[in-house]
Amino acid sequence: MEPVLHHLEVPGPRARHSDERRIAWWEWNATGLDSPSHVVVCVHGLSRQARDFDVLAQALAPHACVVCVDVAGRGQSDWLADPMAYQIPTYATDLAVLLGHLRQRHAAVTGTAEPYALTIDWVGTSMGGIIGITLAAQPAIGLRRLVLNDVGPVIEPASLLRIGEYLGVQRVYSSEQAAAAALWEISQTFGPHTPEQWLALSRPMLRAVQGGWTLHYDPDIAVPFKALLASGDMPAVREAMRAGEAMLWQLYDAISAPTLLLRGADSDLLSHETAVAMTQRGPRAQLVEFAGVGHAPTLVADEQVRVVRSFLLDA
C-alpha cells in the first residue's frame, strides 16, 4: 500500500515563489471507505518530513485513515518567503486549516451536518508534539486522543545546542547511501535501526540536485532557531525559554484529551523529571519509556508501533 499525496492552500505567510501557499499531506486509507469516520493525523519533528510515519501508518491504515503532514518548508510543502515565519503559530494555523478541511470533506461525503462526526487523533514527534499541544488545548479543535513523542513543555538546553550544530546545514551527497550515512551521524539518538530501516527513513529526506542529493527542507527553517541562540545574550535566551515553558505548561494544563507520552529513556530533549510532571498535571499523560533510545523514537520498532496502535485503536 502506498499513500496518496494531496495539497491544500493555506492562508498566512506567503510562499517564496508564489502569492499562494500550499502544504502537502500524505493519506493512507486501506479501509475502502471514501471518508472513514476516524482519522489519525501524524506530524513530524523539526527537520523531518511526513514519510517518517510510513511504518506506523501502515499499521493503523486498515482501521483508520492516516494523514501524515509535511510542515511548511519541509518535504512537498511550499517554502516560506519570510524565514522568521518558520515558527509554531504558522504551523498550528496551517494544521488547524487542514483539520477543518478534513471535517468538511467528511461532511460532504457522509451528508452529516455534525462538525465533530469525524474523530481525529494526533501523533506528534518533537515539534509535531508541540503543535499538537497547541491545538489540543483548544476545545473547538476537537482532538479525541493525543500522542506526544518525546516532547513536553520543557525543552532541555543541551538538546537545542546539539540541534543547532546541524540544523540548516545543507551539503550535497554523491549518493542516497552517502546521504543516509551522514544523516545517521547526527541521528544515532534515534536508537537501533537495521540498514534497511534507516535507508527507508532517509530516502524521503532527500531531493535530487545537480551533483547528487541534499536534504529535503528549506535551510531557512533554522533562521528563527539560530537567531535566538546567536544573540549572545544568555540571560535573554534563558528568559525567552522560561516564557515559552510557562506558555506551554498553560496549554498542556488545558488539554482534556487522553494523552500518551512516549519518551526515549536516553532523551536529551525531554527529561524524565518533566515527563513525570506531565503524568501528574493537565491530561495526566500515560508515560511509556523506551530503553536504548534517545531523542526521538522513530515509531518503526514493533514495540513502539504496538504501544501507539493500542492507545489509538483499543480505546
Place 12 in a pLDDT band, splitting at 50, 70 and 90. Answer: very high
What is the mean predicted confidence (pLDDT) over 191-198?
Answer: 94
Q: Which neighbouring-strand residues pair with 57?
A: none
Report the first-to-last Cα separation within the chain, whole angstroms. Answer: 25
In a domain, 232, yes or no: no
| pLDDT, mean over the chain | 93
What is the mean predicted confidence (pLDDT) over 88-106?
Answer: 97
In a domain, 62, yes or no: yes
The answer, yes or no, to whether residue 34 has pLDDT greater than 80, is: no
More confident residue, 225 or 29: 29
Q: What kind and span of H or E run contains 163?
A: helix 157-166
In a domain, 182, yes or no: no
What is the mean predicted confidence (pLDDT) over 180-187?
Answer: 92
Contacts 24+ apart (CB under 8 A), 15-23: 15/78, 15/79, 15/80, 15/81, 16/78, 16/79, 16/80, 16/81, 16/218, 17/79, 18/78, 21/72, 21/78, 21/80, 22/77, 22/78, 23/69, 23/70, 23/71, 23/72, 23/77, 23/78, 23/94, 23/98
Contact 315, 309 (CB under 8 A): no
The answer, yes or no, to whether residue 35 has pLDDT greater than 80, is: no
The answer, yes or no, to whether residue 156 has pLDDT greater than 70, is: yes
Q: What kind and span of H or E run contains 201?
A: helix 195-202
Beta-carbon contacts of 212 under 8 Å, excluding residues fewer than 6 positions away, are 172, 173, 174, 175, 178, 179
Highest average pLDDT, of 2-11, 33-42, 183-192, comes from 2-11
Query: Which CATH number characterizes residue 249's domain?
Result: 3.40.50.1820
> Which of 32-36, 45-49, 104-108, 221-225 is least confident?
32-36
Collapsing DSSP to helix, strand or coil, 161 comes out as helix
- Specify the pLDDT at position 234: 64
In a domain, 88, yes or no: yes
In a domain, 188, yes or no: no
Instruction: Give the separation between CA 77 and CA 32, rounded to whole angstroms.
Output: 27
In a domain, 192, yes or no: no
Range of the structural domain that residue 92 is part of: 4-156+245-313
Contact 47, 221 (CB under 8 A): yes
Place 231 in a pLDDT band, splitting at 50, 70 and 90. Answer: low
Tell me the residue type at 217.
Y
State how far the alpha carbon of 42 is from the alpha carbons of 179, 181, 250, in Å: 25, 26, 23
**Whole-prediction pTM:** 0.95
In a domain, 24, yes or no: yes
In a domain, 134, yes or no: yes
Note the pLDDT tens digit of each residue in 105-130.
999 998 888 878 999 999 999 999 99
Domain count for the chain: 1
| Radius of gyration of the chain from its Cα atoms, rounded to whole angstroms | 19
Beta-carbon contacts of 86 under 8 Å, excluding residues fewer than 6 positions away, are 72, 73, 80, 218, 220, 221, 223, 224
